[in-house]
Structure formats: C-alpha cells, structure tokens
Structure 1
Amino acid sequence: MSEDFRYLNKPVRRTEDYRLLTGYGRYIDDIELSGALHACFVRSPHAHARIMAINSADARAMPGVAAIVTGRDLLQWTNPLHMAPPIEGLLPVEIETMPTDTVRFQGDIVACVVAVDRYLAEDAAERVLVEYEALPAVTDMWQSLEPDAPQVDPMVPGNRVSHQTFTHGNPDAVSARAYRVVEATFNQQRQTHVPIETRGCAAQWDVGRQHLTFHIGTQIPHPLRTNLAGRLGLSESQVTVVSPDVGGSFGQKIALYREELVVAALARQLRRPVRWREDRLENLSAAANSREDFCRTRAAVDKYGTLLALTLEMREDFGAYCFFPANYLARVVAMVLSGPYRLDHYAFDVQIVLSNKCGNAPMRAPMSITSWVMEGTLEAVARELRLDPVEVRRRNMLRADELPYTTPTGEVIADVTPVETFEGVLAAIDYADFRARQREALAHGRHLGLGLCNVVEPTTYGSRFYKAAGIPGSGHEACWIRIEPTGIVNASVGLGPTGQGYETAMANAVAEGLGVAPSRVRVLLGNTDIAPYGMGTRGARSATAGGGALYLCARDARDKVLAIAAARLCVPSDTVRLIDGCVERREGDGWFDAGVDLNDVARQAYMDPTSLPPGLLPGLEFHRTYDPPAMTYSNSAHACEIELDVATGAIQILRYVIAEDCGTLLNPTVVEGQQHGAIVMGLSGALFEEVIYDEAGQITTGSLADYMIATAPELPHLELIPMHTPNRTTAAGIKGMAEGGVMGALGAITNALNDALSPWGVVAERHPLTPMMVRDLLRDKP
C-alpha cells in the first residue's frame, strides 16, 4: 500500500456521527410540513385476486378524511412504469401505479386514504370495503413454470420473464472426456432488507411555482427525480428530490415505489403536503424482497481437482412486480461466477420467474450467492475426489503472473491478490493446527468445522460494464468543488448516502486531491438542486466512482490554486505545493513556507480577478465527471471456525478471520465498519433470515418475532487482516468495497458446517442453516 497519501489510508472518526448519535439527525419524520396530510394504504389480504368493487362511503364520511383514491384515479394522474430494456431473452412488463383490476400478492395496494393525521387515516382505511374474487396463486419458482400454473402477469405468458444462455468454449465436450463431473446444488432463501428506518416520504406541491419538493430516503436522488418527473408528466426542473439522513437501505431504497408515487400525485392534486411512513408489517411484507435463487453447477475436473469446465443452471423467483430489469441480479452472478479461479470452458442457463409474492429489489450484494456457489463447488470436488479443499483451491487459483485475466464472460480480473489473501488467512488460523485440533475434538465427541471462502467482489460498474452486459444504465459520477472566498471548501457529488459515512470519507478524497485538512471540507449530499446529476449509491461503486471523481476534481482545483500562487510569488508553478492549506515553495532539496495560504489565493481569485495570471477566470469553482473502468474488483479470503452441537443442531461460531484487499482507503474507519456490517449481514442471512409464504401466498413472517435476524450474542468477534494494494487504473488507486463481506460470509459459514458434518457424509445445500435443518440432515444418522 502506498504511503504517499496524507489523508487517505488514515483512520479518522466519522464527522456525521455527532448528530446521528446525539439525536440531532434529520430524517423524513423530522421534517415538518405545515398542514400536512397523512396517507395510509389499503392492502390486499389475498395473494392473487380480482378487484370486484371498492366501497369507501363510510370511510369518506369520517371527520378529518381528506380523500380516498383508487387505481382508477391514479390512471389519470400518473403514467405506468414500462420496464422494457432491449435485452435478448427479457420480456417487457408494465406496472400500474395502483392495481385497477387484479392484485398480485398479499400486501398489494388497492386504495389510499388521506387524512389529517396518521391514526385517523389508519382507522379510515379499515372501513374501506373491498370485494375480491380470489384467484389461484403460485408461490413456488418451480411450479411457476408448469404449463397449468396461474399466470402472474398477463404480459408474461408462462411466468418466465427472462431466459438467457451463454457458452464459451466447449464445456460439453470437455466434460465428456473429464476424469469426473461433480454436481453441486445451492438454495438461497427469500429475504428482505429490514432497514431500521422503514420507507417513507413527504411531498409538497407549490401551486404558484408549479414545483414539487419530494423528501425521501433514497440511494439515487437524481435517477429517482427523473423517474418521478416522468411518471407525473412533469419536467425535471419541476421536481426537487431531497434525501436527508437515512436510517439504512441495503438496496431497498433505490426504486421509486408505487406508494411514493401515489403520495407525490396526491400532494399535487390536493394542493396540500402529504406524507407517508410504512409500519414494520408493511416493510416486511410489501416493501421489497430479495435473494431466493437456486443454482446447480456441474464441474468437469481431472483426478487432481483441476477445473476443466463448468456449467451453471440458475433459477430466481422475482416476485410479482419488476421494478428492476428481471435479469439484472442473476446475470451478475453468472458473469462473475468464476471469481479468483481460472476457467476456460463455461456455460450458463439463467431463468427468472414471476410468482405471487412481493417483488424483488437488489439487496446488499445482489450477487451474494456467487462465492458460496464457486467455493462450494470446489468443496464438492474435494469431497468427491477425497482431496484437501485447500489444495484444490491452490491448484485452480489465479496467480499474480496470470493477471490481468479475461474470464469466459469477458470480465477482466486485474489488480487483485487472491493468493496473498488466501495464504494470509490460512496462516492466521494455522490451518494444519486446526486440522489437528479438529481430530482431537472429534475423538472427544465435539464436532468442529472450518469454512473457507475466497471472494472477488465487483465494485465499480462503469458505463462500459452496463453496455457489455446489455443492461441499461450509466456508471459515471459527477461532482463539483467550490473554494469559497474565505478558503473554506464546499463539495458535492451525486451519491445517496444511507449511513455509510460519506461525508467523512468523501471529504478525505477532496482534502487529498486539493491539499487541505479534511476539517475544511464540507460535503453536501442528497439534494438534486445542489448536487450534480449522478448515478447514486449502489453496487459498492461509491468510493471508486464518487470518491474518484472528487479526488480528480480536487486535483483540478489544486492546479489553479497553485497557478495563482506561483504567479503571486513570481516562481514556476512546479516549485510550489499546497499542504494543509498552506503554500510551500521548493528551495533546493527542501520545502519551506511561502507565506501564502489558500485564504489569500481564494480572496484574490474572487475579489481581485484582474490580478490573476492570463487565461485564468475569476473564482474557484470546478466541475468534473468521471467514468471509471468497466469494472474493478476487490478481493478477500474468509475463514470461519464453528462448533456444531449435534444434539440440537445449533451452530456456534468460534472464530472468524478475514484478509481483505480493497485498494486505497478513503477512510479505514469507514471501511472497517463496512466490513463488519457486510459480514454480519451475510451471517444473519445464512443462519436466520427467511421470508416465508404458505401455499396460498399468505406471508407468515410479518413481524420481527417471525422474521429472525442475528443479534449480538449470535455473532463472533471479527478479526480483520488488511492486505490492501492499489488499483493501477483508477483515481488514487481506489478499488471500493462494501458487499464482499456478505458473499464471503455465506460461503464460509456453510462450508464450515459441511466440514463439521463430514463424518456423516451429508451436505447442507440450503439456507437458512437453522438447527431444525441440521437435525433433519442428521436424522437417522448414527
């Protein structure tokens, strides 16, 4: 890791934590709008039903009820969502703002009640009588594809909304002559995001200016504004999106959801502010789900476990509505599946189906299953051939002299260190010593297991990635920096923070590029009238794209500042530099204070522009866009040691070690928090979390008493080993990170359990790894 940086790679406390931890944060519910009405949605109790009649007379008669609207009203006020990117194998879909004829999952919206307070709105919603004709529902991804399955969306015959195949090389021929073809299966359960702050918004329509101000916690303020304006038939200049402090998202707060669009439309129609906050039941049952995918791999290998060919069969249940292109999440899995391993012959078959369940959205690491699938496949190879799983990995792992490496899908793996992190984590846990301890423990009736998982995490998603993948979108980012006449620095970038610590991290990027202390930099985020149009926060792109843009923009600002300072000092510009806001001049081999600081230069740039060098314009304002490489990668190695209680099926995590390389760090404090959060989310998902629907499509996990998440007693101490190396193609060598911890945790904990189960010859292929599931595997085993 380069030590040339003054502020990057240096841990500092998050500046935003003062307000967030002392109760001075400003969330949606803290925004006061005089005279605001409150919305409450009437939701379907059926998974699939025809709306026959809606009787709202009793509810309308209640004092304080301002309006009750249905899908017929919204047809007049809004445009439907038409999701039809030109992708081969992907069917177009269209989504009404509110269903007019048919509901598609339990919790689907049927009507909206607006009243003077939330309590009255909820009471009135209970008095809206809806007559339904119940229809057959489908809640299983395999049943969805059966010929007689109920149809979820009339635009998607057969319920298969996406089907894509790919072949590189000749995996069938290679498999036919291979020593062995090893099959493995992986089932990831349906989950949801569970942010502390549920979805909510507040809309205010200015009749005189014909302008909508929309307060909402979102990861993508500008794309959401574009979508909101289009759905309301407004121009973007008529809409301001303001995203204040956000209490978590994890991917749930990317899409413009139907409830939010309804609130905006009502504010415009009623000419009064309208606000909405969902409760926890709504969030768990009707916000967005994720995961629920099945993978089967067939690995052709030689007798030493060398991977010769690999095929992937993948199925994903996308739920009832496609607020995102249905192929997007699964396609990333298929594209990056090989991770840190060499592979010449590869094919995949990916099918996405609809069902009568809540629609899907990206969830932190939408490709979360990737590393578990690849590492689990190699574990299966080792079991089948009775080889050491460490040696199988070593045999197939890309070495430094093979990089950059082009995968079968065309992804270029570069500037990663999988061998180094893998060997680093093996040394940290003392692999040979563990195996000795494991044998000794087994002799005394204790069952230990060790799970290893190597991760290559895609982090940037530049525009060229989207183009090559056939996915609509841009990966560039935009920013501006303004040095004020007093020398204070304001900056903005088009990201949408949801608790990651961007104000601190991005200030470091500006400070490093410009040459000032981070305390002099204020980063303004989340307001579309202030921030430049950017692609927002998603896919671990913020450090590379957003931080990179700010760093480069700050370098532009530094160049102008030094040009002015050099002219003022009558010296060549390459003999001055800016350190902590002070200009230094080189004399011989040393640097000395030049008696000029940023305050002096800023005052001159604004207040005495005629004294500036020829060709320089007044002021110190800078704008920069940055389109990073098509993809960058960070990498890590995870090791998880567990003890399995055979009698109860309970798993106790004894030790968890991670060696990670994520390039130049904007702020190690923030990075460590991201590592902890991602790993914990992965462990929680693998062990506890599951959205469960019964055969009739009724959700049975509508509270946090039923939808289990990990708490502190179930989680281990995390041992982090930093092994960072810079990327050679990005600004400041930034690689980015945030989702790899989820990927590694899923694989590490599952491989650890299977290691502990090895004496019985059974394999856990399904999450969550509950005690009941483990006991089922061991049932009737001696």
Structure 2
Amino acid sequence: MSEPDFRYLNRPTRRTEDRRLVTGRGRYVDDVAIPGALHACFVRSPHAHARIVSIDASDALALHGVVAVVTGRDLAQWTAPLRMAPPIEGLVPVEIETLPTAVARFQGDPVACVVARDRYIAEDAAERVLVEYEALPAVTDMWQALEPGAPQVDPMVYGNLVSHQVFTAGDPAAAEARAHRVVEAHFSQQRQTHVPIETRGCAAVWDAGRGHLTFHVGTQVPHPLRTQLATRLLLDESQVTVISPDVGGSFGQKIALYREELTVAALARELRRPVRWREDRLENLTAAANSREDFCRTRAAVDAHGTLLSLTLELREDFGAYCFFPANYLARVVAMIVTGPYRISDYAYDVKIALSNKCGNAPMRAPMSITSWVMEGTMEAIARELGLDPVEVRRRNLIAPHELPYRTPTGERLEDITPGETFEGVLRAIDYEAFRMRQRDARMRGHYLGLGLCNVVEPTTYGSRFYKASGIPGSGHEASWVRIEPGGMVNASVGLGPSGQGYESAMANAVAEGLGVEPARVRIHMGHTDIAPYGMGSRGARSGTAGGGALYLCAREARHKVLAIAAARLDVSVQSLRMIDGRIEYCGGGNTTAGHPLWRETGLTLADIAQSAYLDPTSLPAGLTPGLEFHLAYDPPAMTYSNSAHACEVEVDVATGAIRVARYVVAEDCGTLLNPTVVEGQQHGAISMGLSGALFEHVVYDETGQNTTGSLAEYLIATATELPNIEIIPMHTPNRTTAAGIKGMAEGGVMGALGALTNAVNDALAPFQVVAWQHPLTPMAMRDLLRGRTARTRGD
C-alpha cells in the first residue's frame, strides 16, 4: 500500500487516552488500592563517599507502627547482586549490591530501609536510624577522577576509568597533514536529570500460596524489568507479574530496575505483606538518576573552501557512582553517529567514561543529545575560522541525494533520509537573507540577534543487528498480538511501555490501517506482562518503527485470514476483496470508474466473519483454524534514521546576559506518521526539553560531592513563559525498508534544540569575538563570557 492509499496513518486524530488523563481519571501506581500495604522509606547517606561503620535501628524499631528496618546485609541474603559485564572491549565489569554493605558512594545512596504502617511513621522512623560513617575523600568530576592517585569510586574499576574505546577509519592524520586548516572546537554539556511529574514508586504484593509476586511500577520496559526482577530475587519469570499502569513521565529514568524497587519487592516476599514506596522530589532530584555531563573536542581537517577532509572526536563522560547500564552505551552511540548528514570518510574517536561520587547515570531523552550540537558547532567553527558563510559550508559537505544509501565511517547505513531538502526548507521558512539584513540593522542599534541552524539525523530503530554489530547486549525486536473478538471489536497488544507519549492512539491507527477497521474499534493493551507479549519496551525512538511496525504487520495477517473466510462465503477470490471500516467490499470483472477499480458492498462485515470464525468453525475453509487471534514478532532493520533541520532566532541582552528565543522553526522528515497529532506533540516536547536543558537545567555538586540542587528552586526547568511558539514544517518521506514506511522520531528535537540555540547565541555574540561552548547558557554564564568585551563595530 503506498502512502496516498493510507486511510488512518498520516491522518491527525485526537489522542484517545487524553480524556481520562486530563480529567483526573488516569490510574497511576498510587491509585492502585492495596489493602494492608506497608510503606517503605530509605535512609540515605549524607556523604558523597563514606565507609559504613555501623547501623543502629533500635530507636526506629521502638516507634509504634514500625515493622522492620533492613540493611544491605539483610538484602544480600535475599537478592542477587547486579553484575554488569557485557563482553565489550575496553569496558570494565562492575557489580552492584542491592544496598551497600560497606561503602556509600554518593550523597543520597540508600543504606537502609524502614518499613512501617504508613508513610509518615516510616519517614519519622528513618530519621531515628543512627548510621555511623567514616568520611572518605570524594571524586567530584570526571577530570579529577582520571588523575593519577584519585580516590577510588568502585574497587573493581582501577583509576575510575570504567570504559575506553577507540576507533579509526581511513587516515585522519594524513588528512590533517595535507589540510588547509585544522579547526578545533569544544563542547561541554552539564549534568542533568529527568524530572518526571510522577517520581519513582512501586508496590509489591507477594502471594505466598502461589509463590508469586505482583509488582506495580511505572516502567518503560515491563518485560525486561520482569526478567531483571526475577533474576535478582532468584525466582522464575513465571513467578513475577509486572503491571505498569499510567505513567507520569519517564524520559529514560524508568528503564532500569533500581535498588529501591528491588528492595521493596524483596521486603514484600520476606514480610509476606504488601509493601509500597514513593520517592519525594528531593529523592528524585538527588538519588534517582542523572544524565548528560559530557565533554567533546573535535578536530576537523578542511580545505580552503571548508570541505571536510577528516574528523577526530575526543569524548569524556562522567557516569556517576553506579552503572545500571553498560557504561559505554550512551557515549558509544554519540561516537558512532556524530558525523550526521555530512560526507566524511576519515574519522577517529577516543571515548573515555569515568566514575565519580555522584548519582549514577541513566539514558535521558536523546542520550546522544550532544551529537548534533557537536557536528553543527564544528561546522560553525569552520565557517568562523575561514571567514565563510555557515550555510555554504553545510551545503558543501551535506550528503547529496544521489549518494544515498551512504555508509558512514563507523559503518552505519544512511538511506531514505532527506537532509538537503529539510535544510533548504527551513532556510526558506526563515528567509535567511532577510534575517541577515535585520541582524545588521539591529546591531547598528545595539541589539544583538542571532540565528542558529542545526541539521539532525536521528537514530530511531535500534534493531537487533545494531546491538550485535556495536557490541552492546540486547535485542531490538518487538512482539505483538491482535485478537478480533466475536462481536467484531479488536483487542491488540505490544510489548511497549507507555509513559505519556500517546501510544494508545498511535498504535490503534497502526492496527486499524493493517486490518481495515476504524481506530475506534481497536483497544490497545500495554504494560501488563501477563497480557502483553514479551517485547523490549520503550526506549530511544524505537516504538514507532518496532512497535507500530509489529502491530501493523500482525494486523495485516489478521486481514488476510478475514478476507480468506469472506472469499469462501462469497465464492470469489481473496484478491477481489478488501475491508474498509470493518466492511467487506468486492471488485471484480474489470469494473472501473474513470480508470479506477469500482468497489461495491458485499453486505458482510468484520463482525459477521468473526462470528463464523468463533461460533461456526465448521463453515471455515479447509486449512483455517477456528478463531481470529494472531501473534507476530518483528525485528526491524538494524537502524533507521529520520532527519530534520532546526532554525532558532534569539536576542541576547548583552547588559544582563538574558537570552530570548524569538522564533523556532523545524523542518522534519520522520516517514509515515502513525498519528500526526501525537508526532507534533512529541516534536514540541522534545524541542522544549532541549531548550530547557541548554538554558537552565543543571545538577550541581560542590567540591565535597554535596548536591546543591535538591529542589525545583535550584534545579530550574523551562516553563511556557520561556519557550517560544514552535513552527513545524512537515516534509515526510517513507522509509522503503520498514513496515508501512515508518521511520520513527521523538528524540531529534532535543538534539536539534541544543545545536540550534547554541549556534544562535554564538551568532548573536559574534561581534564580541566570543564562543559559548558550555551549557547551561545562563545569564550569569553570558555575562562571564562578555566581561571586558566590546563589539568590534556596530555594523558588522
């Protein structure tokens, strides 16, 4: 079926889940009523690094309503440690206890857990647990961590270097030797955290009679989390059910099985009573998970016209105290795809990941967020150093349509992308030449406008072959089932874990398109491991291609059987039938109108076929089994890419350092859209998150390892007041290798916003001959950058 033939895909419709969510009828973990549930509260280390000398819980246990106080030594008897040791060259194995038994590694590290009748008693009792610590020297940043003689964060990781990978394609050194110029650029992204509206929480119910655990938790990956939970509790997976109801945001924070969640599950089993836990905002900001904090340096060898001859990347990342994910994973993706839509054959990278006495890292929406800023900032640096127009430098180096499919120096295959088209599309939308005239006029009046451009190639699928080729453990397939009920309604499921993205609406459209029914007749079931098929869950931007693709293909299989049954009843060929909105139509005998097939009603509906399939199976054609239930697993291509071009116009008040985003435009190609309404929401959300991170968000640790941003008064996030209206130019083209041409999207907006905003700020400050290369771009940072500087001329 070609794109113009789609009846439900590429058509905007309202999100069906919004009715319950915006009217307060959503069902989150805290809405799950569990009679008799106890409440857990964790005792956390006030030190960034300290030996646990002793824990005295006697005063806490004396408080009426306290049921138990447990420590790492108790949990070591009930659970298995997490061993993160994938066979990757340069990656050091690590092992994590459920709760630390000897040493706390960051401020907020949980060292004990109090269980009480209610949350208030548990919190009061936690303050009565007396922990004696012996403070140890702390490592507070990645540069210090890698110095000789630095304090050791993890005894298994010598020198705190947990991962080191190098790669070379071609001969970058030879390219530099013959280059007209070698341009160096720096990029530093600050430590951030996810700030979901709903913080982490869970509820565990142990059925001693059945030996079965029911675990309610907001998660992006229900099945992988069930596997981890069963493994750590020494149970079979059949003994664990994970139920993830509505989730109030995640952004990557709710993928790992955290130590607090494992503790709650273990307590429910040991106490034989339900136990629940909900962290407060302070805990979330200081102890849930951090992300970002990386530094990049590029060296670009170029000719006199700005043509790239080679690129070398040095990347350093601070991974915090614990590795709940392979430490190489996030930075490795940056290094693999940093060349983006540009023509480069000679390329090398050196990636080092350090441990520090900070909260451990987790993926955050666009874990490779710095990628496009690095590449686009490098293009800007080339233009500055050679005195060229940054637009022309990009045009000279962009991969041309006739060069696709294009093999990047790291072996990634770029195909069915349109970077040149989206770039030109956004330039037309902003009227580049007219802006430059406005900018010159504004500078004459002492106003400093800037325009930032950023081309993005976003990885979206992460198929199994990607993981295999990159040496990262995991699978990229997705599983689905579709069941047509006897009355003609359709139930469907996929192994994704929604956290507010609008999956119910989007996935219903995928099923409707594949089967031939109205989306309103489709019910999507996710987040329950006893119902949904085993899938890899939601991470990256894989849900559209892998999850939507699996449902679309499964629904097509269902349609084939429905039409086969209908063809037997009508005594016609299957090829002469189709199903539209649940009605069977026939076209035969060469009937046409104006050259188009003439379809006519047969009087049969999906409900008629379903009744026969279930209630009159002897009437089915030979070879067809009763019922209409279908299962399909889909492993998409190793990687697919969507692409976009971002343009950001800013004004910088050089007196105060304040940055005002005046206009934001993005031209995007993300293939066939499951639901344009959902896609637009994802684009707005991703861009807003990128702008917020670049302007405000910053997890700050002092020199002793104390987190000084433990509330939303210190950890700032953008609100509607600071964010611009976002103009979206759809320029979608289908992917020819995926189901229905889906490409996926959701993280490219973050990537584009970082680069477009920063490039805009540097464009505005060009007369002062300064370059902002560190985030966040706060007014204080801008004033520091401009201190002692004056503009060269008012008119340049």
Q: TM-score, normalised by structure 1?
A: 1.00
C-alpha distance after superposition, 1:79-131 (max 9, x if no partner): 00000000000000000000000000000011000000000000000000000
* Equivalence for 1:635: 643
Where in structure 2 are the equivalents of 1:7-22 lying within 5 Å?
Answer: 7-22=8-23
C-alpha distance after superposition, 1:601-650 (max 9, x if no partner): 00000111111001000000000000000000000000000111010000
Task: Say which SS state the counterpart of residue 434 (structure 1) adopts.
Answer: helix
* Equivalence for 2:468: 467
Task: Say which SS state the counterpart of residue 599 (structure 2) adopts.
Answer: strand
Where in structure 2 are the equivalents of 1:218-257 lying within 5 Å?
Answer: 218-257=219-258
* Equivalence for 1:775: 783
* Equivalence for 1:23: 24
C-alpha distance after superposition, 1:728-773 (max 9, x if no partner): 0000000000000000000000000000010011100100000111
Residue 739 of structure 1 pairs with residue 747 of structure 2: yes
Where in structure 2 are the equivalents of 1:113-192 lying within 5 Å?
Answer: 113-192=114-193
Residue 661 of structure 1 pairs with residue 669 of structure 2: yes
Where in structure 2 are the equivalents of 1:228-627 lying within 5 Å?
Answer: 228-587=229-588, 588-589=591-592, 590-627=598-635
C-alpha distance after superposition, 1:427-449 (max 9, x if no partner): 00000000001001111111000
Residue 58 of structure 1 pairs with residue 59 of structure 2: yes
Aligned length: 782
Identify the range of structure 1 (712-721 vs 585-594) with the bigger mean alpha-carbon deviation.
585-594
For residues 407 and 573 of structure 1, the distance between their equivalents in structure 2, rounded to whole angstroms, comes to: 44
Query: How much has 1:662 moved relative to structure 2?
Result: 0.2
One-letter amino acid matched to 1:235: D
For residues 3 and 493 of structure 2, the distance between their equivalents in structure 1, rounded to whole angstroms, comes to: 27
One-letter amino acid matched to 2:108: G
For residues 635 and 691 of structure 1, the distance between their equivalents in structure 2, rounded to whole angstroms, comes to: 30
Structure 2 gaps of 5+ residues are 593-597, 791-796
Task: Say which SS state the counterpart of residue 546 (structure 2) adopts.
Answer: helix
For residues 130 and 176 of structure 1, the distance between their equivalents in structure 2, rounded to whole angstroms, comes to: 60
For residues 2 and 83 of structure 1, the distance between their equivalents in structure 2, rounded to whole angstroms, comes to: 44
For residues 511 and 713 of structure 1, the distance between their equivalents in structure 2, rounded to whole angstroms, comes to: 39
One-letter amino acid matched to 1:627: D
For residues 672 and 234 of structure 2, the distance between their equivalents in structure 1, rounded to whole angstroms, comes to: 44
Query: How much has 1:176 moved relative to structure 2?
Result: 1.0
One-letter amino acid matched to 1:531: A
Task: Say which SS state the counterpart of residue 134 (structure 2) adopts.
Answer: strand
Where in structure 2 are the equivalents of 1:679-690 lying within 5 Å?
Answer: 679-690=687-698
One-letter amino acid matched to 1:392: V
For residues 784 and 22 of structure 2, the distance between their equivalents in structure 1, rounded to whole angstroms, comes to: 44
Task: Say which SS state the counterpart of residue 357 (structure 2) adopts.
Answer: coil
Query: How much has 1:715 moved relative to structure 2?
Result: 0.5
For residues 573 and 760 of structure 1, the distance between their equivalents in structure 2, rounded to whole angstroms, comes to: 71
For residues 218 and 366 of structure 1, the distance between their equivalents in structure 2, rounded to whole angstroms, comes to: 18
* Equivalence for 2:793: none
For residues 512 and 727 of structure 2, the distance between their equivalents in structure 1, rounded to whole angstroms, comes to: 30
For residues 500 and 442 of structure 2, the distance between their equivalents in structure 1, rounded to whole angstroms, comes to: 43
One-letter amino acid matched to 1:225: R
Query: How much has 1:140 moved relative to structure 2?
Result: 1.1
For residues 461 and 580 of structure 2, the distance between their equivalents in structure 1, rounded to whole angstroms, comes to: 30
C-alpha distance after superposition, 1:462-515 (max 9, x if no partner): 000000000000000000000001111000000000000000100000000000
For residues 319 and 266 of structure 1, the distance between their equivalents in structure 2, rounded to whole angstroms, comes to: 27
* Equivalence for 2:770: 762
For residues 557 and 781 of structure 1, the distance between their equivalents in structure 2, rounded to whole angstroms, comes to: 68
For residues 25 and 446 of structure 1, the distance between their equivalents in structure 2, rounded to whole angstroms, comes to: 48
* Equivalence for 1:714: 722
One-letter amino acid matched to 2:291: S
For residues 574 and 683 of structure 1, the distance between their equivalents in structure 2, rounded to whole angstroms, comes to: 51
For residues 538 and 151 of structure 2, the distance between their equivalents in structure 1, rounded to whole angstroms, comes to: 37
For residues 245 and 517 of structure 2, the distance between their equivalents in structure 1, rounded to whole angstroms, comes to: 27
Residue 106 of structure 1 pairs with residue 114 of structure 2: no
* Equivalence for 1:198: 199
Query: How much has 1:322 moved relative to structure 2?
Result: 0.1
For residues 781 and 497 of structure 1, the distance between their equivalents in structure 2, rounded to whole angstroms, comes to: 49
For residues 627 and 421 of structure 1, the distance between their equivalents in structure 2, rounded to whole angstroms, comes to: 29
Query: How much has 1:3 moved relative to structure 2?
Result: 1.5
For residues 721 and 502 of structure 2, the distance between their equivalents in structure 1, rounded to whole angstroms, comes to: 26
For residues 712 and 585 of structure 1, the distance between their equivalents in structure 2, rounded to whole angstroms, comes to: 52
For residues 37 and 175 of structure 1, the distance between their equivalents in structure 2, rounded to whole angstroms, comes to: 65
Task: Say which SS state the counterpart of residue 142 (structure 1) adopts.
Answer: helix
Task: Say which SS state the counterpart of residue 692 (structure 1) adopts.
Answer: coil
Task: Say which SS state the counterpart of residue 713 (structure 1) adopts.
Answer: coil
For residues 78 and 651 of structure 2, the distance between their equivalents in structure 1, rounded to whole angstroms, comes to: 59
Task: Say which SS state the counterpart of residue 651 (structure 2) adopts.
Answer: strand
Query: How much has 1:2 moved relative to structure 2?
Result: 2.3
For residues 176 and 351 of structure 1, the distance between their equivalents in structure 2, rounded to whole angstroms, comes to: 26
* Equivalence for 2:97: 96
Q: RMSD between aligned alpha carbons? A: 0.5
Task: Say which SS state the counterpart of residue 150 (structure 2) adopts.
Answer: coil
For residues 642 and 405 of structure 2, the distance between their equivalents in structure 1, rounded to whole angstroms, comes to: 14
For residues 176 and 572 of structure 1, the distance between their equivalents in structure 2, rounded to whole angstroms, comes to: 69
One-letter amino acid matched to 1:501: G
Task: Say which SS state the counterpart of residue 542 (structure 1) adopts.
Answer: helix
One-letter amino acid matched to 2:165: Q
Residue 72 of structure 1 pairs with residue 73 of structure 2: yes
For residues 652 and 132 of structure 1, the distance between their equivalents in structure 2, rounded to whole angstroms, comes to: 47
For residues 355 and 197 of structure 1, the distance between their equivalents in structure 2, rounded to whole angstroms, comes to: 27
Q: TM-score, normalised by structure 2?
A: 0.98
C-alpha distance after superposition, 1:327-353 (max 9, x if no partner): 000000000001000001000000000
C-alpha distance after superposition, 1:8-65 (max 9, x if no partner): 0000000000110111100000001010000000000000000001011010011100
For residues 730 and 148 of structure 1, the distance between their equivalents in structure 2, rounded to whole angstroms, comes to: 51
* Equivalence for 1:752: 760
Task: Say which SS state the counterpart of residue 136 (structure 1) adopts.
Answer: coil
One-letter amino acid matched to 2:533: P
For residues 237 and 322 of structure 2, the distance between their equivalents in structure 1, rounded to whole angstroms, comes to: 26
One-letter amino acid matched to 1:133: E
Identity of aligned residues (%): 78
For residues 263 and 300 of structure 1, the distance between their equivalents in structure 2, rounded to whole angstroms, comes to: 54
For residues 486 and 4 of structure 1, the distance between their equivalents in structure 2, rounded to whole angstroms, comes to: 27
* Equivalence for 2:654: 646
Task: Say which SS state the counterpart of residue 314 (structure 1) adopts.
Answer: strand
For residues 177 and 29 of structure 2, the distance between their equivalents in structure 1, rounded to whole angstroms, comes to: 60
For residues 541 and 562 of structure 1, the distance between their equivalents in structure 2, rounded to whole angstroms, comes to: 31
Structure 1 runs (4+) deviating above 4 angstroms are none
One-letter amino acid matched to 2:309: L
One-letter amino acid matched to 2:421: E
